[in-house]
Structure 1
Amino acid sequence: MSSSDFRTGREGEFTYRGHTLDELQEMSLEEVAELLPARQRRSIDRGLTEEKQKLLEEARERGEEETANDPIRTHLRDMPVLPAFVNKTFSVHNGQSFERVQVRPEMLGHYLGEFQLTRQSVEHGQAGIGATRSSKFVPLK
């Protein structure tokens, strides 16, 4: 996604491909899909699954203050971020636990899972008991 896809105007108002956030939220799902990148557009054109439709309805029904206190829990990491999700809090599952993700306007057109990493960085220690002979060698300097 290029930087020209979303900008802030002179007054700091967010726009996504020439449309303000209010305009995007008033559009139908099909109209929003036309603005999204190809992969997200294709997943919407093929039809949202029942679980994804439930998540979208729950996001539309709940207010911003409600989700801040009690985030919407989901395993749907492959759900595209839609205008109905903006300024709402989700708890996205990363394979081990649910982690909070506050959806901002800049996240439109991405997937929920992109903002919650599933892998942790590996920090190797020194070779221990049972290590092979060659890996036991630790230089002094």
Structure 2
Amino acid sequence: MSSEYQIGHEGEFTFRGHTLDELQDMELEEVAELLPARQRRSIERGLTEEKQKLLAKARDAEEEATANNPIRTHLRDMPVLPVMVDLTFAVHNGQEFERVRVEPEMLGHYLGEFQLTRSSVEHGQAGIGATRSSKFVPLK
């Protein structure tokens, strides 16, 4: 069983047998053939106008999109493509923009997968105004 991506014996990243430089030189349709089915289908059907604008921003701002100057987006359903690697995006989680630095291992996933929309809930002790049953604390 081979994995989608791996680090070669020389420490170089490969995605389905292609290095990152090879992937970045490929056309979008060639890259789509290497992606998982859901991402490939969304690219084959044609990216929406907003996704095309985001892709154009990523191509233009290859060096400019640093941690201090991320590309802001609401497009959580944008597939991570080779042109986005090493860029920083500010992905909206429904409440605020959170920074996501795109690594080579993220290829084939969606931007929204790396920015959770729900936070974990940690319940404390029952406070003033709680019902009688919720105030019960066992002795053992």
TM-score of the superposed pair, with normalisation by structure 2: 0.93
Structure 1: where are the runs of 5+ without partners?
A: none
What's the offset of the Cα at 1:38? 0.7
- Does residue 1:88 correspond to 2:87, yes or no? yes
Matched letter for residue 81 of structure 1: V
Residue number in structure 2 paired with 1:70? 69
Give, in whole Å, the separation in 2 of the partners of 1:3 and 1:60. Answer: 31
Give, in whole Å, the separation in 2 of the partners of 1:10 and 1:22. Answer: 17
Which secondary structure does the structure 1 equivalent of 2:24 belong to? Answer: helix
Matches within 5 A, 1:1-141: 4-64=3-63, 66-68=64-66, 69-141=68-140
Matched letter for residue 73 of structure 2: T
What's the offset of the Cα at 1:3? 6.0
Question: Number of residue pairs matched?
Answer: 139
Percent identity, aligned pairs only, is 81
Q: For residues 42-93 of structure 1, what are the alpha-carbon distances to aligned partners after superposition, in whole Å with 9 as ceiling and x for unaligned?
A: 11111111000000000001123x1113100000000000001000000001
Give, in whole Å, the separation in 1 of the partners of 2:129 and 2:55. Answer: 52
Q: For residues 24-46 of structure 1, what are the alpha-carbon distances to aligned partners after superposition, in whole Å with 9 as ceiling and x for unaligned?
A: 11111111111000111111111
Between structures 1 and 2, the one with greater helix share: 1
Q: For residues 79-138 of structure 1, what are the alpha-carbon distances to aligned partners after superposition, in whole Å with 9 as ceiling and x for unaligned?
A: 000001000000001111111111010000000011111111101112223322211212
Structure 2: where are the runs of 5+ without partners?
A: none
TM-score of the superposed pair, with normalisation by structure 1: 0.93
Which secondary structure does the structure 2 equivalent of 1:15 belong to? Answer: strand
Give, in whole Å, the separation in 2 of the partners of 1:3 and 1:121. Answer: 34
Runs of 4+ in 1 over 3 A off after TM superposition: none
